[in-house]
């Protein structure tokens, strides 16, 4: 993924431009998990959707095994769709409410794998069910008859039926309880390890991300401000925003006055660090746009203070 940008425009007379993604670049290796954290509205989900071509980017490109993903059409595009899949935040809305689970599970195979016979599909469906820990009784139900954790399992089984190489998980557990979250995440990690899937794991819960990921990238207002191996980031966050994120998890106990309400206002100043107005250490340099620099082993930071 290289230099991806997305701009939205709003208004008829007074056109405003919102830079939702601003030159985001990263790469995910096979079998690796990259965690993406950031506050709501920082553009995490937009990254996920642009990568899979669900919304067209304003500029930049996405490469999958050195091949451009977004430009091909027709059969080629369908092939990419099979290899790159996404788990959405609200699994309830990802399943057709009028289809029984058994039909929902066959649907992706019917579209993508035309060479399979019905019988093979059904036996494959059986394997998948076991893999995600569901039983046969669930097959005859409708999505509204299942709990959140079960639906998330069905969604995962659907995705696995296409044996994808790359998976985006867009806050897969933000709506689930801690114990169900643990079930789903463990399953996801196990399946990923068995099939060598590259995973982009998006969440705002830095502890969950730390547990899931090999590397973590922190996003703030459409830019990646820091990226480092998971352990490293949680122990030595450098960028002031990453520090705030890590701190707000570890220090719920005391009241801290410096923790001011962060407000989302995309004034879209040209250039300059996006975090400038909130940064406690902002200096004159920060009026220019910082670039990602490597400061340690695989530790990249976009801040002038380095």
Partner 1 sequence: MALLSIRNLTTVFNCQEGMVKACNNVSLDINQGQTLGLIGETGCGKSVLGLSILKLLPVNAVSSGQIIYNNQDLLALSVKEMCQVRGSEIGFLPQSPATALNPVLRIGEQLTEGLQLHQGMVKEKARVIAMDMLKSLGLKDCDKRAADYPHQLSGGMKQRVVAAMSITGQPSLLIADEPTKGLDAVNRAQVIDLLRQLTIKTKASLLLITHDLKVAVALCDEIAVMYSGEIVEKGSADQVLNNPLHPYTQGLVASLPERGLFPIPGYSPSLLDDIPGCRFYSRCPIRNENCKHQPVINREVNGVHVRCLYVDQSGGTQQRIYGRGFQSEAV
**Residues near partner 1 (CB under 8 A):** 38-40, 133, 147-150, 174-183, 185-187, 190, 204-208, 210-211, 244-245, 248-249, 251-253, 255-256, 259, 261-264
Q: Which two tokens stand for residue 233?
A: 């980031």
Tell me the closest approach of the beta carbon of residue 255 to partner 1, in angstroms.
Answer: 5
Q: Report whether 176 contacts 184 (CB < 8 A).
A: yes
Return d(Cα 164, Cα 105) in angstroms, integer: 15
Q: Which is nearer to partner 1, 58 or 183 (CB)?
A: 183
Q: Which is nearer to partner 1, 236 or 248 (CB)?
A: 248
Q: Can you list the positions of beta strands (E) in 28-111? A: 33-37, 59-61, 63-64, 67-68, 84-87
Burial 274-299, CB ≥16 within 10 A → b, else e: bbeebbeebeeebeebbebeeeeeeb
Tell me the closest approach of the beta carbon of residue 57 to partner 1, in angstroms.
Answer: 24
In angstroms, how far is the first alpha carbon of the chain from the final one? Answer: 25
Q: Which is nearer to partner 1, 131 or 295 (CB)?
A: 131
Tell me the closest approach of the beta carbon of residue 288 to partner 1, in angstroms.
Answer: 25
Tell me the closest approach of the beta carbon of residue 203 to partner 1, in angstroms.
Answer: 9
Tell me the closest approach of the beta carbon of residue 190 to partner 1, in angstroms.
Answer: 8
Tell me the closest approach of the beta carbon of residue 77 to partner 1, in angstroms.
Answer: 34
Question: Torsion over CA of 260, 265, 269 and 275, rounded to 10 degrees?
Answer: 30
Q: Is 202 helix (H, G, I), strand (E, B) or coil?
A: strand
Q: Which residues pair with 201 in a beta bridge?
A: 35, 169
Query: Tokens 């993924």 correspond to what residue?
Result: 1
Q: Which is nearer to partner 1, 35 or 57 (CB)?
A: 35
Q: Which is nearer to partner 1, 109 or 246 (CB)?
A: 246
Q: Which is nearer to partner 1, 22 or 171 (CB)?
A: 171
């Amino acid at each position: 993924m290289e230099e991806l940008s997305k701009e939205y425009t709003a208004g008829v007379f007074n056109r405003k431009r919102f830079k939702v993604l601003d030159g985001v670049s990263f790469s995910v290796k096979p079998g690796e998990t990259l965690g993406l954290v950031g506050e709501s509205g920082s553009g995490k989900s937009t990254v996920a959707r642009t990568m899979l071509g669900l919304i067209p980017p304003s500029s930049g490109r996405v490469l999958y095994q050195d091949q451009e993903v977004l430009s091909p059409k027709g059969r080629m595009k369908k092939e990419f769709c099979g290899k790159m899949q996404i788990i959405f935040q609200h699994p309830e809305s990802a399943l057709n409410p009028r289809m029984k689970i058994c039909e929902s599970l066959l649907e992706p195979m019917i579209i993508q794998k035309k060479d399979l016979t019905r019988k093979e599909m059904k036996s494959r469906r059986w394997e998948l069910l076991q893999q995600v820990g569901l039983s046969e009784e669930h097959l005859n139900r409708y999505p509204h008859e299942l709990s959140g954790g079960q639906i998330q399992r069905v969604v995962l089984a659907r995705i696995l039926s296409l044996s994808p190489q790359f998976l985006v998980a867009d806050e897969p557990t933000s709506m689930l309880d801690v114990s169900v979250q643990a079930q789903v995440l463990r399953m996801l990690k196990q399946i990923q390890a068995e099939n060598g899937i590259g995973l982009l794991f998006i969440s705002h819960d830095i502890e969950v991300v730390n547990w899931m990921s090999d590397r973590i990238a922190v996003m703030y207002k459409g830019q990646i401000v820091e990226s480092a191996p998971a352990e490293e980031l949680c122990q030595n966050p450098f960028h002031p925003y990453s520090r705030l994120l890590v701190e707000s998890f570890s220090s719920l106990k005391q009241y801290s006055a410096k923790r001011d309400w962060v407000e989302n206002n995309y004034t879209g100043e040209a250039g300059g660090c996006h975090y400038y107005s909130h940064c406690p250490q902002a200096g004159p340099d920060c009026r220019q746009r910082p670039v990602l620099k490597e400061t340690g082993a695989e530790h990249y930071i976009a801040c002038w203070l380095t």
